[in-house]
Amino acid sequence: MSAVSLLVVGLGNLPFPLTRHSVGHLIVDALALRLGVSMTTDRTIGGYSAHTAIPLGETLASMTLYKPKPLMNVTGSAVVSALRKTVKSPSAMVVIHDSLSHRPKTISPKYGGSANGHNGVRSLISALGGEMDFHRLRIGIGRDGGDVAEYVLGELSFEEKQFWRDSGRGVDLVLKEIEKIASRTLS
């Protein structure tokens, strides 16, 4: 069995749990529950982390789950600190974040590319010195016709919360995408 190390980062705002903008935090918490690990405070990387080793298909993944403490729009330096302490290479990092451009309860994987207006991703790219070669799982939250800031800080629907919880289908989909990333990382 081949081995790979991954840093899985969930973007969000700790003061606003269960909101659309914090869906990355929700998913990392659900992954921790599913994998049987506890998120603990790690002051050296400015957030909460957990570490585990799990088989993903034919790959053994040494996985660090991470939720940064800083607010979404200024999260870049904390994520880079976690990256440097764990996997070192941005190509071994998976960032999970909300996406207004995708329907709720969907995942759109992406490698590299611009922030597409997402301030948390923009902060990360800036902290990486313009480096964009990392994996992203864009989690669809949809959008309405109203104020975007108000919308993203609105609470997820009951159905979305159930979908992304540790026993929900969404976590199965996230793990499948992480498995694909792990196998590509070895190639």
Instruction: Please list, residue by residue across 133-144, b when 16 or more beta carbons sit within 10 angstroms of its beta carbon and e when fewer do.
Output: ebbbbbbbbbbe
d(CA 137, CA 170): 12
Q: In a 3-state reduction of DSSP, which class is residue 86?
A: coil
Query: Is residue 21 flagged as an active site residue?
Result: yes
- Amino acid of residue 135: H
State the Cα–Cα distance between residues 161 and 183, nearest whole angstrom. 29
In angstroms, rounded to a whole number, what is the distance separating the alpha carbons of residues 45 and 55?
A: 26
Give the active site residues: 21
